[in-house]
Structure 1
């Protein structure tokens, strides 16, 4: 039962989870649902280090949960290393936890997903965990037990992993980030509190917002829309609405971080993005694929979208085959351009960076938007040099998003072309392929 003043709704209907709680202080909502929705008495909390060290929010939640709180973990490293997952898995089993709560950003969300799945399958070693992640030809269900410990996510970024069932975690032995997938994985409840996010570092908030933008853009250009047929209009509508909520409001937040209504709109934009992706089951493309493997190299989750999405759009447009495929890629990228240029606030920011609607391609527009947010636009800016590209391309060829890129990627050489565009050392990172001039 929702409390007075609480907006409580199913995020991705008809999917049975997660529900969203919005409108109350996060600790009030969390204690209410932990007690009355999940009937929990042995709660395990994962809190980000930044919140636990410097934010009264952690103290408020810990106090509110009282003696129901049986364990606390401070932080999970970026891109969710397997050893961190196994530590949480062991804690959940040892403490007989009946609810897990995460308070913080993306890595905590994925860590909880994979750890609850591992706990259900008694996977307490690297070898056992290795047998759980998704592989080609595996539907994610075979001989794997469903999650039994429910999860509440209280996010402080816009990455959106709380609405996405698969969880990603990185095997440090080979540096590959793998996906763990099962219908039972993921949060039952997401609690949104814009006031909580004001303390999120600006770079983290805005770059995670770009991750949400990436979901919408790769959603609008997804090969799933070409092959999906019926229902495309509804799916597109969600992605477009997500962009319209995200783009102008991210620019406002950049200049006025204390505007809570703006932050609320951005959070709702993330939900719209995932409504689009889940309604059409839209596979992502190379921006997500490369981004998954940039993470183990130390690049922040949102920053991967900042540096890769513009170059992927440029490469796709340049390398689309003739005829129907080329027309389709052009039409999809034009849809993206229409949304960016269709908002006066966004259009003004693009024009201030020297772009015009008549000549700028989708990659140029996305890159300019990233720059307007003050975020990195090249691999060089996030510490990735040419010496890392071959290994990155090799690992990326194993990623689940590469076979579903809108333009076929069949070999590492093609990935290296994209990476060269994004490198930023004068080799062509900002080469533009304007839509109307592409050959």
Structure 2
């Protein structure tokens, strides 16, 4: 057992079918008076925004329902101006990682505006001035983490910058599997693979700890049992509940460890090449697992067992390779893209993408040392 550190965040989690109906009750204890909701037009159309407005009444003063993928910098500026004008005291993210992400971004930015000082936590247990409430409707996992990314655009160049701070970990997360019953197959599959990737990277993270390992293996089991079923039969509440449980465990696993090459390169593909996060995960995960296999075989062998793969008579390397093969099979079963060319990445852009990825702190946190840009070029070429 190696030495480790773990920081426990002050979070409340409400999990179960119908949990959204408890939002007024559970937010009352925070004494919040002026909340701002971040979501997409789809949730307005499906009536969820109206439901939340009815339940919270005058305490929900504004709903920003135009959230775009990858948390765009211009939307952060636009939403911040509204939040300042409305004197917001809490933010709610309803939807996937982008809705929760922009809520986190506004939480920090609004605190800085009001205090005139950097909002970054001075000590590990410092609490936010503007708490974040998360209502996830995909399996992205950001509802449990102290991380978000903003896509910054300078001329024709886009780059996704990751921010990490304990203060932006949501204080309340409401998991309602009923909100995922209408999740499209593609989003179910893509965000589900993303959750699975959180588990894999947490399992062999350079900062792993006993809790992250236990949560990662539990998440792998739940996701392995339910993800494909959710894609085949999205109206199965039992499968959706098991999958959301796996997503929760993936978020717990992710929340206190450093991610590595896989998520670093997926952020580059999203921020610099416009690839959706789900598609980037589906394409890159099995490739990165194989890339890391020579130094992560023992951990990936545990993943294979948690996935239900019979590893009797296999070496750790063989079992780890089988886990990567199983991920590739899932991608094929769920009709997700498996090559970068399928999502519009130009082969001539690979050297630039590799260079941006090589500069990423997340990529540098990989358990297998990234020595040079050429390694990343080769990885992206293999995925192209």
Q: TM-score, normalised by structure 1?
A: 0.77
Q: CA deviation at 1:89?
A: 1.5
In 2, the alpha carbon distance for the partners of 1:236 and 1:116 equals 30
Q: Which residue of 2 aligns with 1:409?
A: 370
Q: CA deviation at 1:168?
A: 1.0
In 1, the alpha carbon distance for the partners of 2:354 and 2:383 equals 13
Q: Which residue of 1 aligns with 2:280?
A: 304
Q: CA deviation at 1:343?
A: 8.0
Are the equivalent residues in 2 in contact too, given 1:89–1:116 (CA < 8 A)?
A: no
**Aligned with residue 269 of structure 2, among 265, 270, 294:** 294
**Aligned with residue 242 of structure 1, among 207, 216, 219:** 219
In 1, the alpha carbon distance for the partners of 2:320 and 2:241 equals 34
Are the equivalent residues in 2 in contact too, given 1:160–1:212 (CA < 8 A)?
A: yes
List aligned pairs for 1:211-360, cutoff 5 A: 211-225=194-208, 231-232=209-210, 234-278=211-255, 281-296=256-271, 297-317=273-293, 326=294, 328-342=295-309
Bigger Rg, structure 1 or 2: 1
**Aligned with residue 19 of structure 1, among 9, 12, 16:** 12
In 2, the alpha carbon distance for the partners of 1:208 and 1:374 equals 14
2:119 aligned with 1:158: no
In 2, the alpha carbon distance for the partners of 1:15 and 1:191 equals 19
In 2, the alpha carbon distance for the partners of 1:362 and 1:253 equals 20
Q: Which residue of 2 aligns with 1:37?
A: 29
2:171 aligned with 1:179: no
Q: CA deviation at 1:275?
A: 2.9
Are the equivalent residues in 2 in contact too, given 1:159–1:212 (CA < 8 A)?
A: yes
In 2, the alpha carbon distance for the partners of 1:358 and 1:118 equals 46
Q: CA deviation at 1:28?
A: 2.1
Q: Which residue of 1 aligns with 2:315?
A: none
Q: CA deviation at 1:97?
A: 0.9
2:63 aligned with 1:82: no
List aligned pairs for 1:113-192, cutoff 5 A: 113-122=104-113, 141=122, 147-173=128-154, 174-192=157-175
What SS does the corresponding residue of 1:176 show, helix, strand or coil?
strand
**Aligned with residue 44 of structure 2, among 39, 45, 52:** 52
Are the equivalent residues in 2 in contact too, given 1:171–1:177 (CA < 8 A)?
A: yes
In 1, the alpha carbon distance for the partners of 2:373 and 2:183 equals 37
Q: Which residue of 2 aligns with 1:435?
A: none
- The 1:411/1:268 distance shift into structure 2, 3 A limit, reads same
Q: TM-score, normalised by structure 2?
A: 0.88
What SS does the corresponding residue of 2:135 show, helix, strand or coil?
strand
In 1, the alpha carbon distance for the partners of 2:162 and 2:222 equals 29
Gaps of 5+ in 2: 1-5, 312-317
Q: Which residue of 2 aligns with 1:322?
A: none
Q: CA deviation at 1:209?
A: 0.8
Deviations for 1:47-95, whole angstroms, at most 9, x for unmatched residues?
2121112x02222122222222221211321111111111121111111
**Aligned with residue 98 of structure 1, among 86, 89, 105:** 89
